[in-house]
Chain A
Amino acid sequence: MDEREDAEFVDYVSGRLAGWHRAAYALCGSPHRADDIVQATVTGLYRHWLRARSADNLDAYVHRMLVRKHLDEHRRTWARERLLGILPDRPAPDPQPPEERHALRVALAALPRPQRTVIVLRYICDLSVDDTAAVLRYAPNTVKSHTVRGLAALRRILGDTARLR
């Protein structure tokens, strides 16, 4: 990668890093692990940048990488925790968490992984049904059903939809 390509890469990452971090945080529930997931995504993207930048939908490509890095990071964290007996890296409870934010984090963490991933891509990353389907390699109807079930489960777990309106 020459200097111009390197600068182009930094520009691209600069514009999107906060959004990737938000998505990673929604997926894993920990700001530190979200940093690791984003770093792994940036590292993987850097390796393939010259090819990836000409992709038809670069953002979808990166979102797919991010979801995969999340799964990789999850597996690695489990292996490490079992080996060393260190407590899992759960988000520390805020001393005085805003009620809605805390409730949402708990509710997201309680969703089955496919539903959580679909909800995050659609509503945190603002992807369409088709783009979400492309990222996860699901059929569009599968994305729709996970969306409906995920939102319903969120409402059920939260117990009070009025709280979120």
Chain B
Amino acid sequence: MKEDPMHPDDDLGARLKVLLDPPPPGIDAVRATATARRSHRRRRRATVAAAAVLLLATGATAGIVATGTDPVPPAAPPNYDRCAVRPGAVPPDVTVTAADPTGTRLAGYRVDPAGARSAETVVVRDGTVTVIPAPGTGRPGTPVAVDRSGTVYGWTKTAEEIDSKVPWVYRAGVTRRLPIPAGYAGAGIDGVNARGDVAGNAYRRVGTTVHQTGVVWPAGAHDSPVVTDPGPEFSFVEVAGIADDGTLVGRAASSPDDMTSYTWRPGGPARRLAEPAGGWSARVSGVNGRWAFGHLLNGAGPAAPTRWNLATGAVETFPDVYPSASVVSPDGVLVVNDPRAERVVVVDAAGGVHQLPTPGGRAVAISTDGRTLVGSAMWTCV
């Protein structure tokens, strides 16, 4: 096979394979095939969606064929058994509460040496801390989201009561309050989607009871908040987040003791999120891309982290994982903070469970590519 008239005596070549002695592969055929299968399905769905967009954009009715001939391979998904803490990325005196989609611009608040929360709201980049102005003298702000341009969205309580919440946006050195809907005393931000729609909850007091409802500050019209609820039959509404197409996720009920998880479009009908088998309900906590997350509630309280695929309506629970889901990636990677083990646990798209290395037991954000997680530390995964 290897006859080579120009070099018949290649002793060195013959010994290369033996001498190279590589470490064993970190993947096996079954896992590699499972990853390939998932990637193939995602790609097929994306091709169909792109073809649909093209049809809509051109008004064409025939003659367009989705060929899927793009030769560039998708990057391999992150391996959560190969994550490392990046030293110095999160200063010890900062509690991070949000990060941008790349995981490089962080936001949070400063804590004093005793661990108590100070009044300083901060952004962090490459380990460098900058204090940003936030409304509410002497009270810390809580950043909720950071977008790709570095704009920070958050809220500050100006008093003890929840209806004292003030929503704000920090951009290019300036903090601006978002308007509170007419008839309400305060409002907080709970989610921002990729196009810049801001979603949260507005509060008003009726006698001694605080009522809340959903509110959206639409992208490009942040000065014109829109009150939204899933329907007139719901007296109590709690928005948990907003998907990239403007779909809201949250809970609603006619009484605060009977809250159920829904998705809805402003002005559109509500759709009840699927409930896990077993007869218990599940509480939705947020959304990212087409995935929502939360936890299963049994009679005793939170019982298992849960994720919903909003495209298919499917629900999954993970009863062997601590029931404290923190965030989900656009690909469905579920991040869980386990305070008992002081570890961050990741449930990958296929349902595999991985523990991230210490130090650091709390993650609050995951980058869009799933490779960077941020919280009490910054983890990068290959």
A interface residues, Cβ below 8 angstroms from B: 6, 9-10, 13-14, 17-18, 21-22, 25-26, 31-32, 34-36, 38-40, 42-47, 69, 72, 76, 84, 86, 89, 98, 100-101, 104-105, 108, 119, 122-124, 126-129, 144-145, 147-148, 151, 154-155, 161, 164-165
* Contact residues in A for B28 (Cβ distance below 8 Å): 14, 17
Query: If A32-B382, A43-B40, A147-B7 touch, does A101 touch B19 (CB 8 Å cutoff)?
Result: yes
The answer on a CB contact under 8 Å between A32 and B32 is no
Query: If A31-B26, A72-B73 touch, does A25 touch B4 (CB 8 Å cutoff)?
Result: no
Binds A, one of B9-17, B114-122, B150-158, B175-183: B9-17
* Contact residues in A for B10 (Cβ distance below 8 Å): 123, 147, 151
The answer on a CB contact under 8 Å between A123 and B14 is yes
Count of chain B residues with a beta carbon within 8 Å of a chain A beta carbon: 45
CB distance from A146 to the nearest CB of B (A): 11
Q: What's the dominant secondary structure at chain B's contact region?
A: loop
List 6 extra interface pairs beyond A36-B382, A43-B39, A47-B43, CB under 8 A.
Answer: A14-B28, A17-B27, A86-B380, A104-B16, A104-B19, A147-B4
The answer on a CB contact under 8 Å between B16 and A123 is yes
CB distance from A45 to the nearest CB of B (A): 8
- Judge if B76 is at the interface, Cβ distance under 8 Å: yes
* Contact residues in B for A119 (Cβ distance below 8 Å): 13, 16
B interface residues, Cβ below 8 angstroms from A: 1-7, 10-17, 19-30, 32-33, 35-37, 39-40, 43, 72-76, 79, 82, 104, 380, 382
The answer on a CB contact under 8 Å between B40 and A47 is yes
The answer on a CB contact under 8 Å between A43 and B76 is yes
The answer on a CB contact under 8 Å between A42 and B33 is yes
CB distance from A30 to the nearest CB of B (A): 10
* Contact residues in B for A17 (Cβ distance below 8 Å): 25, 27-29, 32
* Contact residues in B for A36 (Cβ distance below 8 Å): 75-76, 382
CB distance from A117 to the nearest CB of B (A): 13
* Contact residues in A for B7 (Cβ distance below 8 Å): 144, 147-148, 151
A-B pairs under 8 A by CB, number: 148
From the candidates A39, A126, A128, A144, name the one contacting B35 in the complex (CB within 8 A).
A39
A124 vs B16: C-alpha distance when bound (angstroms) = 7
* Contact residues in B for A13 (Cβ distance below 8 Å): 29, 32-33
* Contact residues in B for A100 (Cβ distance below 8 Å): 19
CB distance from B8 to the nearest CB of A (A): 11
The answer on a CB contact under 8 Å between A123 and B13 is yes
* Contact residues in B for A21 (Cβ distance below 8 Å): 22, 24-25, 27
CB distance from B380 to the nearest CB of A (A): 8
Chain A, residue nearest B27 (CB) = A35
A129 vs B13: C-alpha distance when bound (angstroms) = 13
A89 vs B380: C-alpha distance when bound (angstroms) = 13
A72 vs B70: C-alpha distance when bound (angstroms) = 14
The answer on a CB contact under 8 Å between B26 and A35 is yes
